[in-house]
């Protein structure tokens, strides 16, 4: 009886402490804009990383917005954080990451994060 109880406790701990999340990352050019810059001298400064996130909840596979709207919301949040209006700034190395977690099919949450590097041209 003691072995059965220990087995049930161990199974409960494994199920309760286990993660139900899935991660996925895309390194894509989502906007298809083409700009060519020739860096012959050090005329730029890397200001740092910025990111924007958006998430949506699903209950019994219903609810929320589609992936494209989620991406647009996260991308807009990243652009706001980058503050591209002050100076000659651009975003490079844009990375899109997606995390899906929860207890499918009853409940799951999809989080999309878009991050990039802000570069400012000095001359």
- CATH classification at residue 44: 3.30.110.70
Query: Does 6 reside within a domain?
Result: no
In a domain, 14, yes or no: no
- pTM score, two decimals? 0.69
Q: Mark 1-25 as b/e (b = at least 16 C-beta within 10 Å).
A: eeeeeeeeeeeeeeeeeeeeeeeee
Question: Residue 13: inside a domain, yes or no?
Answer: no
Six-digit token pair at 111? 């989080």
Q: pLDDT digits over 55-101, tens only?
A: 999 888 787 778 888 999 999 999 999 988 888 888 888 888 888 88
Kindly give the residue spans of alpha helices, DSSP state H, lying in 1-123: 2-17, 67-82
The reply to whether 96 falls in a domain is yes
Closest CA to 121 of 79, 88, 91: 88
Range of lowest pLDDT (18-27, 82-91, 102-111, 113-122): 18-27
In a domain? residue 50: yes
Sequence-distant (≥ 6) Cβ neighbours of residue 120 within 8 angstroms: 44, 45, 47, 87, 88, 89
Residue 68 resides in a domain: yes
- The predicted model gives 16-23 an average pLDDT of 59
Q: Is the peptide bond before 105 cis (omega within 30 degrees of 0)?
A: yes
Distance of alpha carbon 51 from alpha carbon 120, whole angstroms: 17
Q: The domain containing residue 30 runs over which residues? A: 21-121
Q: How many domains is the chain built from?
A: 1
């Amino acid at each position: 009886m003691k072995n059965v109880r220990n087995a049930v406790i161990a199974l409960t701990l494994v199920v309760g402490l286990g993660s139900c999340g899935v991660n996925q990352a895309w390194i894509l050019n989502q906007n298809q804009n083409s700009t060519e810059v020739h860096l012959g001298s050090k005329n730029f400064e890397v200001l740092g990383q910025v990111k924007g996130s958006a998430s949506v909840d699903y209950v019994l596979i219903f609810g929320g917005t589609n992936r494209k709207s989620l991406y647009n919301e996260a991308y807009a949040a990243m652009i706001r954080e980058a503050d591209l209006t002050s100076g000659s700034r651009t975003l490079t190395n844009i990375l899109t990451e997606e995390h899906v977690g929860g207890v499918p099919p009853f409940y799951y949450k999809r989080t999309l994060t878009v991050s990039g590097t802000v570069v400012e041209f000095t001359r």
